[in-house]
């Protein structure tokens, strides 16, 4: 990033740990973090990408339920 004169905006950076519900529940990690240079970014249980809610277990429940609230 520095070679291209880019900076990481920690306030807008999100990352998602993806796996099956069983795999995610078996992990001892409660909220994993990612260290990028001197910045630390915590994982989210869901993110929104192009208007679609993506959940760590890749279910569409959150997105579908959000759509019901928008009506």
Q: What is the DSSP string of 8-45?
A: --TTT--EE----HHHHHH-S-SS-EEEETTEEEEEES
Degrees, nearest 5: CA angle 14-31-57 = 70
More confident: 1 or 18: 18
* pLDDT value of residue 66: 67
Q: Residue 20's pLDDT is what?
A: 82
pTM: 0.55
pLDDT at 71 (0 to 100)? 45
* Euclidean distance between CA atoms 65 and 6, whole angstroms: 37
Convert the pLDDT of each residue in 9-68 to its tens digit. Answer: 888 888 888 888 787 777 766 677 888 878 888 888 888 888 878 888 877 676 667 655
Long-range pairs of 24-33 with CB within 8 A, sequence gap ≥ 24 = 24/56, 24/57
């Amino acid at each position: 990033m520095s070679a291209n004169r880019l900076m990481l905006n920690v306030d807008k950076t999100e990352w998602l740990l993806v796996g099956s519900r069983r795999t995610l529940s078996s992990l001892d990690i409660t909220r994993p973090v990612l260290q990028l240079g001197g910045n630390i970014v915590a994982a989210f249980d869901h993110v929104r990408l192009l208007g679609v809610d993506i959940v760590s277990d890749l279910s569409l429940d959150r997105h579908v339920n959000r759509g019901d609230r928008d009506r």
